[in-house]
Amino acid sequence: MFDDVLGRFLNHWNVKTVTANLSVNYLMPVPTGQPLTVGVRILSREGRRITMAGTLRLQGEQRDRATAEGIWVETRPDHFERHRNQLSAYLSSSGKDDGPV
């Protein structure tokens, strides 16, 4: 959940990223089916590397139920095409090519 929410936060600012590292600490149980509030902070940016932190609370609570910290890397314009081509080449050379990637 943190990966999705923190990554989408950057996407809303038109910053396309991939997750490099993410650490989550559960401080107490997080019940399912309850409304949640997620807090997001950008801690630093060094070149294409963006370090962010997040908190997870039950709606209306003041205590963190979970915290997260991670690094997202801004993608270059050809990122996904480059990796798609690398994966296709690998699959072709290994005989595992079952179609388009």
What confidence score (pLDDT) does residue 88 get?
A: 79
The CA distance from 98 to 101, in Å, is 9
Query: Which residues make beta-bridge pairs with 49?
Result: 46, 73
CA distances from 27 to 23, 39, 72 (A): 13, 15, 23
The confidence band for 98, taking pLDDT boundaries of 50, 70 and 90, is low
Q: Global pTM?
A: 0.75
pLDDT digits (tens, 9 = 90+) for 46-96: 999 999 999 999 999 999 999 999 999 999 888 667 777 777 777 888 776
